[in-house]
Structure 1
Amino acid sequence: MYRFAAKRLLRFPAIQLAGGSECFRSTGTLGPAISKLSPSFCTSVESPPPTQTPNIPSAGNSSGSRSQQPRAQYQDEQVRVLNASLRHVPRLGWTESAMVAGARDVGVSPSIVGAFPRKEAALVEHFMDECLQKLMDMIDSDEDLNNLIPSDRIAKLVRTRLELQAPYISKWPQALSIQAQPMNVPNSFKQRAMLVDEIWHAAGDEANDIDWYVKRTILGGIYSTTEIYMLTDSSPDFRDTWAFLNGRVRDAFDFKKSIQEAQYLAEAIGAGMGNSVQGFMNSVFKK
């Protein structure tokens, strides 16, 4: 469901730019408003000035172009700052200090950090966006992935995603704490929901009924418990974590039992509460 570009484009909020242009985030996730923008996702929301001359070159002569260019450049600087800040996270944590250090690395005034309304959360969400993009690139390029059975595909993709957190493992409890703050929960939840959906899509899932929700709930639980297990794993290269992950995936892939039982439970709850449960799940996962 999330995989289709049209739904992804319509689901995510637009970013209003100077000059009346509306651009959708190009990363396809619900990260901070400073995500990279793609010109192909921009659409004008204001009529052009009535005196506009049709044959004037567009290389900066228009006042609209002049008003948009500084804003676009500023947003690009924000992305550069976030990318550079990640290098300082293992030492400084998911903090404003790491972002100030990142700004200095790329030659940007540290005052730019004040433009992020949820500073530390913006850094964590940017990292989540970047990890999802890397995972999607791997899915698209790894030809061997299609040769694996679905359970092995899922285990490999969850491991690949969690390995991206390994360099930050000592500071990841702080990231989880930031994600759990009330103002950050909606973005965190939707980022994780999209991650789970991408993994199921790569595993060949085409469900569009109650199984769609059940499968993603199960995988979300596997991902979260493995993520927590990883925080306390002192084995070489997180060997015990991957063994734990493989065991949970094997257990979950007894679909004739686990999914059917979960479906019966969901249907029983739905029967007792009317359509409110289904409406809530639709609003969370499909919007």
Structure 2
Amino acid sequence: MTNLQERGYLLTEQVNANSLNLDQISSLEIVELFNSEDQKAVAAVAAAKEQLAQAIDYTAERLRQGGRLFYIGAGTSGRLGVLDAAECPPTFCTPPELVQGIIAGGAGALVRSSEDLEDRAEDGEAAIAQRQITQLDVVVGITAGGTTPYVHGALNAARQRGAITIFMACVPTEQVKFDADVDIRLLTGPEVLAGSTRLKAGTATKLALNILSTGVMVKLGKVYGNRMVDVAVTNQKLRDRALRILQDLTDLSREDAGVLLDRSGNWVKLALLMHWTGLDKEEGDRLLAEHQGNVRLAIASYNNVNKT
């Protein structure tokens, strides 16, 4: 493992030549500088597209078999993982245990600095044991500089238990090597504020996690076209979104879409299946279950059975 006292050579710790006069430029120039540098975060994600695609496929396969997806990190990296995990239930109607974020220091570290805890590999190992990780699970270790002992300990423990391991870092392999099933490197370069990896590195990480979790949910049939048909209707905003999805895909009036949504038990996916097949709620539920919740496959199966 990298000597924790000698990290200055890491890409994420180097000084950005474009921002040497950061404390002397105008506010507008600060915004322009950040905007210019942030373009590198998008490019870094594009350069890792093959690895991200592999991570999506591995994760979707394990989740279909009953596995879970875990993000683990410390500091900003941990917070980003927790945020992405927390957004899956309202967006895709997933159970809270399906995608979980683990941060060094626990929930308290989300709102106060606990970065000192990242140096304890044994805590990462303990987090994996506590959640009873198995060979069906996927564990994504997030560490901008690539050297975080907490993340290394967690991933090594997860690999010993047979889980798929994904390493996500913002330094090149030659600077920090790590043995994982998927190795994702988001090379954003030196930060505008030297060493502050909540900036470009954090942005690239957020983009990558968005792609990973959304891509997995697409593969799991949580999306129809580009609509979030598994959205959980838990407030007025989400009910409005559900009604708009139904109206867009069926040409129903808002009133009729509301009736259909109520009949389905506030489940857009089931409402669509009921509308397109004429099945009642119980029959639609059964057909969806037979196709692991994939509405497109369920409709194709229904049409194949009932074709004249």
What TM-score, normalized to structure 2? 0.24
Query: Whose helix proportion is higher, 1 or 2?
Result: 1
What TM-score, normalized to structure 1? 0.25
Of structures 1 and 2, the one with the larger relative CO (CA 8 A, separation 6+) is: 2
